[in-house]
Structure 1
Amino acid sequence: MAALRRSAGAPHLSTDVRLLGAGDVRRLAEELGVAPTKKRGQNFVIDANTVRRIVRAAGVDGDDVVLEVGPGLGSLTLALLETVRSVVAVEVDERLAAALPATVAEHAPVRADDLHVVSADALRVTELPGPAPTALVANLPYNVSVPVLLHLFETVPTLRHGLVMVQAEVADRLTAAPGSRTYGVPSVKAAWYAELRPAGRVGRNVFWPAPNVDSGLVAWTHHEPPADADRARVFAVVDAAFAQRRKTLRSALAGIAGGADAAEAALRTAGVSPQARGEQLDLAAYVAITRALA
């Protein structure tokens, strides 16, 4: 492993890494015959300042092994290798996965051995090579960002902190508080695993091709899930509560409770008004309702 050359407790910044610019990104794409597709949510970052900003906001340092999803042509990967111990990059596009080691060898030769590439769909990954990842930092594909995030939270328990860049609207949902217009299923389910907080916006002009929407940064810190609670059952209650947002919980939970009267009894046991609606409750309330239903 390449020496990190950092003082104890100080973040590493390698001067041997050359980040990608707009010209580099387009050249690499042309050489590989890659045309970014909406199907895979491919929008490549072409601005070095943006990827460095992401790394800073993620709070990672030379002790971290970072899991990156969708590295694409390597813009964020190289910025991470300026700072962290190593990167495990999961890429679904086989051409991009195969080319990434060569890009890192060219632009960051002293860090080439600190990159591990997994050619796979992140939604199906269950095991990863190398040291266990401690952080997730990624420009997540817009079309599967929430499922990928929840899947990795569940299947990679060593993750402790990080940051993801997602569509601005999704960032608002992930960080929303109960009672807000954007609070919903992603807000509650993500809260099972971590504390999530907004970390800024990213304009569309730093991408190629430019998306039709701005992006949002979401920083997160792991916390232990609620004690003595069944995640699958709690998530089923959450799904039912938000299936029809205008319904009261008495009506929305009738199907999984065995009737509206049973749902009302469980809600009262949990200390929740039967006339409340799903968007008004936090995770703790959903855990209490699930226990009452049981």
Structure 2
Amino acid sequence: MKFVTNSYSLAKETKEILQENGIHLNKKLGQNYLIDDFKRKKIISFGELNKDDIVLEIGPGIGTLTIELAKKAKKVIAIEQDLNIFNILKKRLDNENIQNVELIHGDAVKIDFPKFNKIISNLPYQISSPITFKFLEYDFDLAILMYQKEFARRMKVKLNTKDYSRLSAMLYFKGNFEFLDDVSPESFIPKPKIDSTVIKLTPKNIPIDLDIINNQYKKICKALFQHKNKKIRNALIDSRHEIGYSDKKELKSLLNNLVKVEPDLEAFLSRRTITMAPKEILSLTKILKAIVR
């Protein structure tokens, strides 16, 4: 697909809007605005939008993606936490008489999402992890998401590497992902220090017990990956609060008693988290299910 680039005008438009409203972007809050029109067109094209789609956008900023998404989708739900930026976008939407955007002021990590079927977002990087886990609690067709490249690498399961993470283990059962495009720091203002990556995330439909994945498995992963280089027994005990315990002796006793009736448990407890494939962590979770609170 061929795109006509207009990066200069997008950059100029963005800077003028920010200057007119006295806005100084804060990199610490993940406020890196896309100013490359070529990349914007590619990102939107990846979403394969039609007039039946309801698109969720997290961190719309001044509407760089929002306004173009609204032209192609039935509706856009845009959630912006910064009140000043929220008001700028609201004014832009009113001025351009765009009526199919539901603009919500709030913290996307904390609020419930209205109904949607696609997600397209240049995510605020500081919420990449919690917002991705939250996305996976919803049913949707596909998500086109921009992350820091370093974060995106952690989505792929790579045992015995520093990139193997709780995110990897959760995504294994809940989502398929595809790397679509890299975006350089020059495509943003202010320039981030590292490259960004656009990925396509789609829910994975495999025959698993979603209840155990969303509850006990999620808790076990959270406990284990806080100490992924430790043996699993020690990781569970050191992060016992994640599975509902405050008393170290109580959890030790429960694990010891469970070993007596579950012959496979001891082998798991003596391994390190970083060596455990997601399917093995799920097998461990099924053994521990009864004691996870």
* 2:239 corresponds to 1:239: no
The aligned counterpart of 1:115 is 101
Instruction: Decide which moves more: 241-250 or 136-145.
Output: 241-250
The aligned counterpart of 2:136 is 153
Q: How does 1:59-208 map to 2 (within 5 A)?
A: 59-104=48-93, 106=95, 109=97, 112-128=98-114, 132-154=115-137, 157-208=138-189
Q: Distance in 2 between matches of 1:266 and 1:170?
A: 40
The aligned counterpart of 2:13 is 24
Which of 217, 220, 226 is equivalent to 2:201?
220
Deviations 1:140-173 (A, max 9, x none): 111111112212332xx24231111111111111
Going from structure 1 to structure 2, the CA distance change for 1:102 and 1:254 (only over 3 Å counts) comes to: closer
Aligned-pair CA distance for 1:31: 1.7
Name the aligned partner's letter for residue 102 of structure 2: H
Aligned residues: 270
Aligned-pair CA distance for 1:198: 2.1
Identity %: 23
Q: Secondary structure at the match of 1:63?
A: coil
Q: Distance in 1 between matches of 2:213 and 2:25?
A: 40
Q: What's the TM-score, normalizing by structure 2?
A: 0.81
Going from structure 1 to structure 2, the CA distance change for 1:248 and 1:162 (only over 3 Å counts) comes to: same
Q: What's the TM-score, normalizing by structure 1?
A: 0.80
The aligned counterpart of 1:258 is 252
Name the aligned partner's letter for residue 56 of structure 1: S
The aligned counterpart of 2:3 is none
Q: Is the 8 A contact 2:174 2:203 kept in 1?
A: yes
Q: Is the 8 A contact 1:270 1:288 kept in 2?
A: no
Deviations 1:85-120 (A, max 9, x none): 22110000112212224324556x5xx111110011
Q: Is the 8 A contact 1:42 1:141 kept in 2?
A: yes
Where in structure 1 are there 5+ consecutive unaligned residues? 1-18
Q: Is the 8 A contact 1:189 1:235 kept in 2?
A: yes
Name the aligned partner's letter for residue 173 of structure 1: R
Q: Distance in 1 between matches of 2:74 and 2:102?
A: 12
Aligned-pair CA distance for 1:138: 0.6
Where in structure 2 are there 5+ consecutive unaligned residues? 1-7, 241-250
Name the aligned partner's letter for residue 117 of structure 2: T
Aligned-pair CA distance for 1:234: 1.3
